[in-house]
A and B are shown apart, each in its own frame.
Chain A
Amino acid sequence: MSPRPGFVLEVDRSTPPTLFWHGEGFRLERLPTGSRVLYAPEPIDALDDPVGAIRHALADPLGDSAPLASLLRPGMKLTIAFDDISLPLPPMRSPDVRQMVIEEVLELAAGAGVDDVVLIAALALHRRMTDAELRHALGDRVFDSFAPHGLLWQHDAEDPDELVHLGLTDQGEDVEINKRAATSDLLVYVNINLVAMDGGHKSVATGLASYRSLRHHHNARTMAHSRSFMDQHRSELHSSNWRMGRLIAAAGVKVFQIETTLNTDTFPEQFRFLQRREWEWNARDRAGFLASSKALEATPARLARSIFHSIRSPHRMTSVQAGEVEAVHARTTENVYAQQLLEVDGQSDVLTMGLPYICPYNVNSIMNPILVACLGLGYFFNMYRGKPLVRAGGVVILSHPTPWAFHPGHHPSYIDFFEQVLAETTDPAEIGKYEEAFATDPWYVHLYRTGHAYHGVHPFYMWYWCAHALEHVGAVIVVGGDRAAVRRLGFKPASTMADALEMAADVVGPDPSITHLHSPPLLMADVR
C-alpha cells in the first residue's frame, strides 16, 4: 500500500484528544471543534538499494559536473566535508547516511590513487562533535582510518591560519571559508537534507565559514526577510548564501555536492504512536502511549532527557543526488517537498505546536529556553511555503516545559545571553548591539575551539531565527513552561491549553480559528 499523503483534520465532537509533544513528554489536548490538525505525510518508500543509488549518483551526476571518478587523480588534494551533529534529528540508526556516502567516495578515491584526503565536519559555529558522535556519523571503518592520523578535522571558524578570505560578493559580503577546503583540488560536500533549508550553496558558504562571513546573513534583517527560510526562492538567507556560493565557485573552488533526503520514519517501534493519527490508534498504540507517559511522569528530568537522546531514528534514505551544487539542490528540494509538503487552505488566528525534546542544537544536550523559542518560532513557524500558517497579528501557542536550564559545556554563551541580553530586550533588531562582544569574547572562543561549546554568537543566531515570527505574530504563549523563563523570553506563560486559548482570544478576538501543527514527524505547509 502506498504511503498516504498528509492530512488536514477538522476537529469535531468525535475527534479524540490530540497528542502534543511537550519536551521529554506528551500532553493530550482537546482542541475546540472546528480546529484544524495538520498531519504529516506518511513516510515515503525508502531506496531499496541505497548504496547502489549512491554509486549511481556519483557516476551520473547532475548539472555540468563530471562523474566523481573522473575528477579524482593521484597526487590531488581531496577534502570531504560533511554535515555535523545537527543533522538528522533524531540521530539515525547506523549506518548513518554520511557513512554510506563517504565510504563510496573513499572507495573511488582509493581506486584513483588519491592519498591526500581530509575529512572535515562542517560545524560552522556549532559545537565540536565528540569522538563518539563522529564515529556514529562516519562508522568505525572511516573513523579509524582517519581520526588516529589527524585526518579527521572539525572546522574551526576561529583559526586564522585555517581560513581564507575569497573576496566580497556584489553585495559587499565577506566570503571567508575553511582554507583546506578552499585550496583542495576537489571539495566533496556530503549533506543530509532533513528540511528544505538544508543544502545548496548554504552547505559550504555556511558550514565551512567564519563569523566574519556568517554575520552577513545570520542577522535579524536577513531572517525577517526570509519568508520562509524553508522556501529558497523567498529566502534572503538563501540569496546571500547563493551569492557567496557563486563567488566560491568563481574563486576556483571545485565543489562536488552530494545531497540526500530521508523519509519521515522518525521514531522507533516503542514510540510508533507518535507516527500515527490519534483516531487510528489501536490498542498497542494506546498502551504504548500510556506506558510512555506514565513512565516519563515518574522519571527525573535528567533521566528522561537521557532516554530520549538515546533514541536512534529509523530514518531511511529516499534519494541521493550528486554533482553541480544548484542542479543537485533543485532535485533535492523536490524530493524533500515530495515527503513533507501538505497543502493547507488559508491561515488561522492561532497556531499551536507541541515542541519535542530535540532541535538541531541540543543533540545529547539540554533544550534550553532559547532553543525552545528557536524551534517553535524559528523552525516550526517557518515550515511553510506561501504564507505562514498563522495570520499576521495572530497567536502562536507552544507546548513545552521550557526549563530555566542550560548545558554549561555546550551553551555557555546562551546562559549569558539569557541573563544579560534578553533581560534588556527581546527585540531581534535590538540585540545586535551586544553581538560583537559575545562573538569576540575570548572565553567563548576558547570554549568553542577547545571544548564542545557553541560559539559565543550562536544564541544571537537562534534569536534572529525567530525574527520573522516575532515580527509577524501578535503574541506567543507557552503552555506548561517555567513561568520565569517564559517571561524572560518575552512570551506569556499559561498553565493549560484552555487558558492559553482564552489568552489568545484577548489578542485575536473570540472564537478564533485554530491550526495545530502535529509535528514531528516533519511536515511543511503549503499555505494557499
Chain B
Amino acid sequence: MKGLVFERNLARFAASRLVSAVGGSGRGVALGPLRLTDVEAPELPGPDWHRVRPLLAGICGSDLSTLDGRSSRYFEDVVSFPFVPGHEVLGVIDEDDGATHARGATGEGGGARVVVEPVLGCVARGIDPPCPACARGRTGGCERVAFGHLAPGLQIGFCADTGGGWSAGGLVAHESQLHPVPDSLSDDDAVMVEPTACAVHAALDAAVDPGATVAVLGAGTLGLCTVAAMAHLRTPGTLLVGARYAHQRRLAEELGADVVVDPDQLTRAVRRRSRSLEFSNTLTGGADVVVDCVGSDQSLAQALAMVRPRGRVVLVGMPGRVTVDLASLWHREVSISGAYAYGTELVDGTHRRTFDIAMEVVAATGLGRLVSARYPLERFEEALAHAGAAGSRGAVKVVFDLRRPAMRATPSVTRGAARRQQDRPTSRTTARPKKGSPP
C-alpha cells in the first residue's frame, strides 16, 4: 500500500528548508525527506489497539512546518523516524479488525467511521499509573510522550510505531483514541474535528469572561476553528478577527466574528473598541484575550501590543523560535500561555472529552466548509504546495483523499466550496445566536 514516509535525512531536510524558504511553504517537498513509497500496515502494539484505514487526512500547519524544516528543534526527541505524517484523520476501523466501536455508525466498506484523537498519552503508551496530566484527562500535556512501549512521538503522525493518516496502509490507534462519527456528520465535517478540538481547548482554556473583548490573529484553519469555538462556546462581548484574505474574512464573519479586518488593522480595531490610548506602539487598554493563531515574531508582538494590562495571550498556532520584546509583557503583567491539543475539558462542572465538544461545534457551525481541496496521495507535491499557499489560493484546509477512487471528489476548490455552500446554512445566526436572544 502506498504511503508518504518522512525519513531522517539531513541533506534532504536542508534542501527542503532552503527551497521552502525561497519558494514558499510546501514547495520544497520534492527535494525533502518525504517520499511516496510502499508502506506496510503497522503492527498492533497491544490488545486494545485497532487498525484504522484513513478516508480523509488533513494537512496541518505543523505538518508543513516539519516538512519545510521550520519546526523547533524542541520536537526532535518527541518524534521517531521514519514516520508517516497525518494526524487529522477520518478513517474506518479495519473490517478485519473486529472492533465493536461502531455504535451504529457505518462507514464505507462496512467499518465504523471514526476520527482519531492522535495524542499518544500514557494510556496509549501502556504506562500505568498514568502521569499526573493524563490522570487529570489532560492527555495533551502527557509527561511521557517519549516513553513507554511505543517509540517517541507526540502524536500519531509523528511516531514510527503507529503510522499516520497519509498512508493507504493505515495506522494503528488505541481504542481510547477513536471517536465514532455520527451519520449526521459528513466526511468533510469529520476531518475537521481534530483541528476543531485544538480550537475548543483554546477557547475553553482562555478564561474568556462573558462580555470580554477577544481578538483572534490569523484566519487559517486554526484561526477559523477558534472563531467558531469561541463564538459557540463562549460569550465574548466582541470577537475581532484579523484575516488576510477575502475568503477568510467572509468565513470569519459567517462563523461568528463581530469585527473582521486585515491583520494589519486589527490593533487599531481593538483600540477603537477599547477606546485605548497608545504609547510605544502599545495600547494602554486593549483586548482581554488575544488568541494568536499564527505563531510568528510579528503575530506575537502584535498580540502583546493589543492585549490589555493583565490580559492574556494564548498561542494556538505552533510557534517556533521567535524573537519578541517582552518589556510590555512584564510591565503590563500580561499572561501568555500555550494551547496545545486536547483531552478533557471542564464545562459547567462536568468533565467532557474535547473531541466530543469539537464534534458538536463542527456540527453546529458547519466547519466541513473549510475543506477546500482534496488530493490523492500520488499528487502529494501539489497538495502540499496548495496547503502551503492556502490563503493566497483561496483555500483553507487541504486534505488527502484516500477513499476509493469512485468516492473521491476532484481536487477543486470552487466545486467543493460551492457544494458545501449549498448543503448547509452558513449564516452568522446559525453559528452564533444573538446575545440576549432566547436559545
Contact = CB atoms under 8 A, between A and B. Distances in A.
Contacts of B272: 416, 420, 437, 441
A446 B271 CA distance: 14
B265 interface: yes
Contact of B277 (A415, A437, A443): A443
B276 interface: yes
Interface in A396-416: 415-416
A442 B277 contact: yes
Contact of A443 (B261, B265, B269, B276): B276
B275 to A, nearest CB: 6
Interface of B is mostly: mixed
A419 interface: yes
A416 B268 contact: yes
Nearest to A440: B275
B278 interface: yes
Interface residues of B, number: 11
Interface string B94-123: 000000000000000000000000000000
B275 A415 contact: no
Given A437-B272, A441-B272, A419 B261 contact: yes
Contacts of B262: 419
Nearest to B260: A423
B269 A442 contact: no
Interface of A is mostly: helix
Contacts of A446: 277
Contacts of A420: 261, 269, 272
Contacts of B268: 415-416, 419
Interface in B272-309: 272, 275-278
Contacts of A415: 268
A441 B262 CA distance: 22
Contacts of A443: 271, 275-278
A416 B272 CA distance: 8
B275 A442 contact: yes
A442 B30 CA distance: 55
Contacts of A419: 261-262, 265, 268-269
Nearest to B277: A443
Nearest to A438: B272
Interface in A169-223: none
A419 B268 CA distance: 9
A441 B268 CA distance: 12
A419 B260 CA distance: 11
A443 B278 CA distance: 7
A452 to B, nearest CB: 16
A442 B166 CA distance: 54
A469 B34 CA distance: 62
Interface string A439-470: 00111001000000000000000000000000
A437 to B, nearest CB: 7
A416 B277 CA distance: 14
Interface string B233-277: 000000000000000000000000000011001001101100111
Nearest to B272: A416
A450 B268 CA distance: 20
Contacts of A437: 272
A411 to B, nearest CB: 13
A73 to B, nearest CB: 46
Contacts of B265: 419
Nearest to A441: B275
B282 to A, nearest CB: 12
17 contacts: A415-B268, A416-B268, A419-B265, A419-B268, A419-B269, A420-B269, A420-B272, A437-B272, A441-B272, A441-B275, A442-B275, A442-B277, A443-B271, A443-B276, A443-B277, A443-B278, A446-B277
Given A415-B268, A419-B268, A437-B272, 10 more contacts: A419-B261, A419-B265, A419-B269, A420-B272, A441-B272, A441-B275, A443-B271, A443-B275, A443-B276, A446-B277
